[in-house]
């Protein structure tokens, strides 16, 4: 996007000379000299936003008072929540969230033509990169052909989506697609796309240097904070608006300073560190805040570990987890193949403009907390949330306690009388090694083993979170090498997989000779993509799945990912644990969460001797030496040389060069959404909600996975029935995530997670509710019945509603089901914004009220007034009429946070707002 000069450039626009380069830049010290305020004590993360204000100040969207507010932030102890208009430099997408975004852009082209405009008005103004990484599913594993088979199936399943994306690549300017089989978007962004300091040419033809910034349609966009790039996840709706030149409306955030001291001890990994950081920050409370890491501990923290911590910002709830520019930043840029001219620019710009973390770096923070890295111990996290930190030496004990809680109502006496099912079912429980307690067990038909609560059926080295880190990946390979040498192997019931976040990982694993060792114990390459972490773990052995179902077994997965929410990883697995890649390998060898792998044997060697974790765990020096030898600048340059070219399969995908998309009516992947059809040129007005019925009453920590699952679904679901009606066989259902370009599937999948619990129903899991007649039915069917009757609906929720992924379909689906309001105790940042962006109003309880204190059952009628004159963050009256006719009057806080968001709601959503403004400008 060409840079526009705002205020008097003589005040803050300066020239930076680096080698033979001469570039303009906006100087923060010059802003101080010009009397705009003292910005010297601002954290680097906030200085990035301040520079954005200097560059885009125009007296209208961004004012001098906005700039001065940053100086006031520092003098007010890190508090000054002023609304500002922020413009990131670029946008990053992945295909699950990117496909619906491109669908929306294509639909907006149709929409602007219908309003009398030009299709070419709908084009990204900022650079957009879309990386296809979420589609590959693990159908084949544990053998040399796994990669090819999975890639072939990926293209078979997704050719309609790929054809559409390739059309988008040619139809839209400023839009690039990284083909399948390249890597995960955040790892590609970290290793290749990001520059730390960006350059562009302004309208006067002068090249300007400024901080690299972005937003992404995936919550883990924060990964690049590790290389001092300010980026965070937004919903596809907000990203589309940003692409089209709409600034992001935000409040100047609080910045929490996280001081790291000491250094990591022998035997610990960056994953162990990040799991502790997640626990601490989630407890501290950082939702809608920036987190910046500082302290002398950073001098001993490789950038790969920093990126792992930054990646997990959504798990600790922050907008971002930022690391300032320092010597380690430069080392990483050099080692990953960035141009030397760029590296020199990064250093010179950071030091000249106050972004450099030197020995004297000591900014003001809104609040602080501190961690000595020397206290970190090996750990995992689970079984349901990333912040549920468990030290490894108590993991088995803690799992036993979890099982006891899950089985609290189960009677051992009754179970002892249970007979075997015809094909292997539940039998009398027995104590598992370690004397942890009673567990259910089941025989797997056709196999010589029995499974029980805690049997690990999936062990996956996956996700950009950890596969971007060569220290833990080399560590995993060395664990495999040592285990192989002793004759250990994965347990036969464990589905093992290796899905790196980029091809560079394969290059250095092969260069170190470690891929052969990983292959030997079942960790063959299955694809380059998110796989298990996004729910694309693929099917486990059918007999194993049957035994889990018939025996009601609490099966387990262990993955090196970032999310372990209920129902996300596999429909067969109820307990999921996050772990470092080396521990994933160790757990595959043990095959059982009840085994205390910190002290119990993992198995026996060829001579029958017990083998313990300490026997196969590599030293820090072993890992560091191999990283030094094999992770080279040349490997990065080679693997990213033709990053946009793709393989023969991608090159063979045929598409058209039409300006507008010819929507294939028979497609079950890509459909023209209804958002802009029949849209008027003028916005509407916000109306009060009167006589709304309750569609669902949900609990705490309802994630976007609960609201809009990404994984597989069965033929008995509304989405499955829809596809069967269109002659799509069950084998070709693919996943919700892959079908996000079809609103008909996604509407039916909204609130359809198999583990979601609607408190309107007793003991029922899945997407069900009470319909208008009081009978149990799917939430989709009930929503359609209410819409047909013209009855508005609302959703009630608890704390942290909308946590997790940034997926826009959690808001789009809510909108298309006719929901007018979501009323919760608190909202996670991205989902609240997405709801507003889709015209759904979020409200928060006040005065200690909650669904529980009010005794809500879902049989109530809800009316909310004051919306016709709504102001940002206004409190409004709400009347709840109970089933028996009694009335409760409460006060709700409307979470339309800013003035521009009021306009978005008036227009029916942010895209409607943008489209109407573009049509007027035509």
> Does residue 626 belong to any structural domain of this protein?
yes
Predicted confidence (pLDDT) per residue in 397-449, tens digit: 999 999 988 876 444 333 332 332 323 333 333 334 434 345 788 999 999 99
HEC profile of 383-451 = CCCCCCEEEHHHHHHHHHHHHHHHCCCCCHHHHHCCCCCCCCCEEEEEECCCCCCEEEEEECCCCCCEE
Average of per-residue pLDDT across 837-858:
97
> Mean pLDDT across the stretch 221-247?
91
Domain match, 115 and 62 both: no
**pLDDT tier at 2, thresholds 50, 70, 90:** very low
Residue 103, pLDDT score: 93
- Average of pLDDT values for 705-723? 93
Q: What is the mean pLDDT of residues 84-103?
A: 91
Question: What is the rounded CA–CA span in Å between residue 535 and residue 709?
Answer: 9
Which residue did the predictor score with more confidence, 498 or 241?
498
Residue 230, phi then psi, degrees to nearest 5:
-80, 110
Mean confidence (pLDDT) of the chain = 92
Classified as helix, coil or strand, 749 is: helix
- Extract the tokens encoding 366: 């809104």
Asked whether residue 181 falls in the same domain as residue 330, the answer is yes
The CATH code of the domain that includes 770 is 3.20.19.10
**377 alpha carbon, distance to own chain's centre:** 26
pLDDT at 438: 55
Which tens digits make up the pLDDT trace of 576-599?
999 999 999 999 999 999 999 999
Residue 725 parent element (H or E) = helix 718-725
Answer left, alpha or beta for residue 545, where phi above 0 means left and psi between -120 and 50 means alpha: alpha
Evaluate whether residue 384 is within a structural domain.
Answer: no
Residues 95 and 74 in one domain: no
> Is 693 a member of any domain?
yes
Query: Do 94 and 140 sit in the same domain of this protein?
Result: yes
Residue (of 606, 711, 733) closest to 156 by Cα position:
733
User: The domain that contains 274 carries what CATH number?
Assistant: 3.30.499.10
Answer yes or no: is 94 within a domain: yes
Q: Are residues 530 and 500 in the same domain?
A: yes
Helix (H) or strand (E) holding 577: strand 575-578
629 — pLDDT class (breaks 50, 70, 90): very high
Tell whether the model's pLDDT for residue 7 goes beyond 50: no
**C-alpha–C-alpha distance, residues 458 and 568, integer Å:** 13
Instruction: Specify the number of domains making up the chain.
Output: 5
Q: What is the mean pLDDT of residues 332-347?
A: 97
Q: Is residue 3's pLDDT more than 60? A: no
At 144 the pLDDT is 95
Say how far apart CA 739 and CA 745 lie, in whole Å.
7
Q: 361 with 503, same domain?
A: no
Each residue of 272-291: pLDDT tens digit? 999 999 999 999 999 899 99
Q: What pLDDT, on the 0 to 100 scale, is given for residue 10?
A: 57
Question: Is 646 among the domain residues?
Answer: no
Judged by average pLDDT, the poorest of 10-24, 421-435, 545-559, 787-801 is 421-435
The residue segments making up the domain with residue 586 are: 409-635
**Domain boundary pick from 355, 375, 395:** 375
Residue-wise pLDDT for 631-666, tens only, equals: 999 999 999 999 999 889 999 999 988 999 999 989
pLDDT value at residue 425: 32
**Would you say the C-alpha torsion 545, 547, 550, 556 has a positive or negative sign?**
negative
577-611 per-residue burial string, b: 16 or more CB within 10 A, e: under 16: bbbbbbbbbbbbbbbbbbbbbbebbbbeeeeeeeb
96: in domain:
yes
Domain shared by 268 and 154, yes or no: yes
- Tell me the DSSP string of 50-116: HHHHHHH--SSSS-HHHHHHHHHHHHTTS----EEEE--SEEEEEHHHHHHHHHHHHHHHHHHHHTT
Instruction: List helix spans (H) across 762-837.
Output: 779-788, 809-816, 829-837
Q: For 149-201, write each residue's pLDDT tens digit.
A: 999 999 998 899 999 999 999 999 999 999 999 999 999 999 999 999 999 98
In this prediction, residue 30 has a pLDDT band, given cuts at 50, 70 and 90, of: very high
Write out pLDDT tens, residues 376-385.
Answer: 999 999 999 9
Q: Residues 217, 319: one domain?
A: yes
The answer on 318 and 211 residing in a single domain is: yes
Q: Is residue 499 situated within a structural domain?
A: yes
Instruction: Check whether residue 55 and residue 143 sit in a common domain.
Output: no
Domain boundary among 58, 86, 114: 86
Q: Which residue has the higher pLDDT, 217 or 604?
A: 604
The C-alpha atoms of residue 243 and residue 808 are separated, in whole angstroms, by: 15
In a domain, 401, yes or no: no
The verdict on 188 and 321 lying in the same domain is yes
Decide which of 61, 86, 111 is a domain's last residue. Answer: 86
Residue 912: is its pLDDT beyond 90? yes
* Residue 354 and residue 420 in one domain: no
In sequence order, the 6+-apart residues with CB closer than 8 A to the CB of 150 are: 136, 137, 138, 139, 140, 526, 527
Summarize pLDDT for 690-701 with one digit per residue, the tens. 999 999 999 999
């Amino acid at each position: 996007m060409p840079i526009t000069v705002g205020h008097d450039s003589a005040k803050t626009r300066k020239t930076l000379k680096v080698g033979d380069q001469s570039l303009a830049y906006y100087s923060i010290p010059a802003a101080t000299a010009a009397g705009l305020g003292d910005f010297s004590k601002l954290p680097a993360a906030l200085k990035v936003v301040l520079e954005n204000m200097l560059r885009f100040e125009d007296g209208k969207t961004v004012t001098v008072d906005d700039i001065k507010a940053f100086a006031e932030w520092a003098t007010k102890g890190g508090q000054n929540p002023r609304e500002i208009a922020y413009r990131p430099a670029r946008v990053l997408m992945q295909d699950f969230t990117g496909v619906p975004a491109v669908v929306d852009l294509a639909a907006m082209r149709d929409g602007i033509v219908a309003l009398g405009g030009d299709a070419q008005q709908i084009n990204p103004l900022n650079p957009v990169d879309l990386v296809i990484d979420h589609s590959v599913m693990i159908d084949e594993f544990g053998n040399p052909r796994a990669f090819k088979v999975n890639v072939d199936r990926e293209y078979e399943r997704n050719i309609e989506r790929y054809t559409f994306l390739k059309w988008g690549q040619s139809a839209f300017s400023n839009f690039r697609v990284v083909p399948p089989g390249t890597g995960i978007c955040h790892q590609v962004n970290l290793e290749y796309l990001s520059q730390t300091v960006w350059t562009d040419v302004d309208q006067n033809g002068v090249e300007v240097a400024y901080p690299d910034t972005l937003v992404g349609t995936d919550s883990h966009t924060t990964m690049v904070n590790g290389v001092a790039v300010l980026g965070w996840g937004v919903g596809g709706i907000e990203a589309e608006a940003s692409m089209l030149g709409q600034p992001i409306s935000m409040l100047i955030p609080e910045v929490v300073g996280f001081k790291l001291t000491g250094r990591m001890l022998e035997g610990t990994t960056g994953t162990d560190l990040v799991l502790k950081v997640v626990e601490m920050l989630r407890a501290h409370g950082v939702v809608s805040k920036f987190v910046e890491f500082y302290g002398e501990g950073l001098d001993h923290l490789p950038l790969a570990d920093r990126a792992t911590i930054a990646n997990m910002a959504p798990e600790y709830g922050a907008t971002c987890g930022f690391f300032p520019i320092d010597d380690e930043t430069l080392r990483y840029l050099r080692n990953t193949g960035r141009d030397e001219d760029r590296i020199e620019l990064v250093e010179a710009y950071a030091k000249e403009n106050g972004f450099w973390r030197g020995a004297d770096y000591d900014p003001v923070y809104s609040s602080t907390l501190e961690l000595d890295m020397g206290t970190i111990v090996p750990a995992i996290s689970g079984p349901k949330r990333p912040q549920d930190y468990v030290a490894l030496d108590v993991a088995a004990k803690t799992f036993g306690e979890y099982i006891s809680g899950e089985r609290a109502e189960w009677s051992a006496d009754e179970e002892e009388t249970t007979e075997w099912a015809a094909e292997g079912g539940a039998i009398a429980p027995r104590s598992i090694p370690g004397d942890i307690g009673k567990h259910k067990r089941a025989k797997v038909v056709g196999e010589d083993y029995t499974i029980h609560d805690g049997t690990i059926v999936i062990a996956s080295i996956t996700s950009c979170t950890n596969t971007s880190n060569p220290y833990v990946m080399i560590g995993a390979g060395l664990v495999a090498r040592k285990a192989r040498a002793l004759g250990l192997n994965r347990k036969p019931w464990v589905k093992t997989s290796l899905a790196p976040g980029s091809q560079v990982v394969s290059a250095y694993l092969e260069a170190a000779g470690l891929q052969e060792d990983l292959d030997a114990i079942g960790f063959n390459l299955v694809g380059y993509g998110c796989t298990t972490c996004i729910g694309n773990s693929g099917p486990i052995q059918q007999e194993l799945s049957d035994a889990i179902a018939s025996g009601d077994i609490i099966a387990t997965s262990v993955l090196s990912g970032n999310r372990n929410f209920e129902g996300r990883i596999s429909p067969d697995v109820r307990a999921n644990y996050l772990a470092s890649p080396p521990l994933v390998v160790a757990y595959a060898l043990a095959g059982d969460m009840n085994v205390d792998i910190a002290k119990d044997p993992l198995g026996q060697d060829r001579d029958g001797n017990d083998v313990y974790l300490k026997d196969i765990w590599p030293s820090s020096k072993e890992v560091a030496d191999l990283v030094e030898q094999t992770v080279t600048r040349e490997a990065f340059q080679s693997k990213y040389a033709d990053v946009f070219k793709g393989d023969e399969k991608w090159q063979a995908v045929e598409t058209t060069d039409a300006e507008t998309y010819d929507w294939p009516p028979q497609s079950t992947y890509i459909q023209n959404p209804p958002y802009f059809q029949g849209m008027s040129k003028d916005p509407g007005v916000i109306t009060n909600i009167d006589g709304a019925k309750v569609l669902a009453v949900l609990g705490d920590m309802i994630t976007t996975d609960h609201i809009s699952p990404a994984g597989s679904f069965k033929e008995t679901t509304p989405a499955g029935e829809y596809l069967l009606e269109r002659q799509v066989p069950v084998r070709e259902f693919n996943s919700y995530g892959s079908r996000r370009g079809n609103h008909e599937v996604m509407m039916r999948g909204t609130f359809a997670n198999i583990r979601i619990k609607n408190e309107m129903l007793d003991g029922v899991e899945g997407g069900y509710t009470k319909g208008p007649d009081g009978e149990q039915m799917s939430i989709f069917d009930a929503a359609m019945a209410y819409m047909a009757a013209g009855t508005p609906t609302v959703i009630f929720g608890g704390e942290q509603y909308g946590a997790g992924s940034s997926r826009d379909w959690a808001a789009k689906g809510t909108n298309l089901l006719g929901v007018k309001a979501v009323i919760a105790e608190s909202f996670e940042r991205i989902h609240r914004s997405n709801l507003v962006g889709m015209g759904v109003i979020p409200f928060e309880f006040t005065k200690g009220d909650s669904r529980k204190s009010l005794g809500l059952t879902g049989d109530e009628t809800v009316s909310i007034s004051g919306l016709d004159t709504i102001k940002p963050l206004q409190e409004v009256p709400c009347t709840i009429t109970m089933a028996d006719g009694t009335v409760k009057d409460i006060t709700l806080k409307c979470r339309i946070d800013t003035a521009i968001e009021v306009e978005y709601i008036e227009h029916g959503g942010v895209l409607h707002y943008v489209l109407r403004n573009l049509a007027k400008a035509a």
